[in-house]
């Protein structure tokens, strides 16, 4: 599912820096919703990693590390909110999975 988040975020960055924060948030939330139980930790920590990977690739291909760093700094509040939202989704999924497996054992 991390590849889905990277693909959506990369597409948003390719469309323009205006779309990047929304693509990052959307891709990470979709990945957290679709992740298997074994990949929930990966889904929880992926927003900053995806942001750095996509912006690093943009810096590599465009040659402007300063511009990518500027985009990362401007998108940081949205990145923090996205990370919090994804962690919340993962926690809810873990609790629902525990209830489901706990009711099966009884």
Q: Which of 5, 81, 13, 99 has the alpha carbon at shortest distance from 43?
A: 5
d(C-alpha 55, C-alpha 36), whole Å:
27
DSSP one-letter code for 1: -
pLDDT at residue 63, rounded to an integer: 78
Q: Are 72 and 80 in contact (CB under 8 A)?
A: no
Tell me the pLDDT band of 73, cut-offs 50, 70 and 90: very high
pTM over 0.85: no
d(CA 61, CA 56): 9
- pLDDT tens track for 1-60: 678 888 898 899 889 888 999 999 999 998 898 888 888 888 889 999 999 999 999 899
Q: Are 43 and 98 in contact (CB under 8 A)?
A: no
């Amino acid at each position: 599912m991390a590849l889905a988040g990277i693909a959506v975020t990369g597409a948003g960055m390719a469309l323009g820096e205006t779309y990047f924060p929304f693509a990052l948030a959307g891709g990470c939330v979709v990945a957290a919703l679709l992740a298997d139980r074994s990949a929930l930790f990966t889904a929880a920590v992926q927003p900053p990693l995806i942001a750095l990977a996509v912006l690093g690739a943009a810096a590599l291909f465009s040659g402007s590390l300063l511009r990518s760093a500027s985009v990362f700094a401007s998108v940081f509040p949205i990145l923090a909110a996205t990370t919090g939202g994804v962690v919340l989704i993962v926690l809810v999924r873990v609790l629902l999975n525990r209830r489901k497996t706990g009711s099966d054992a009884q």
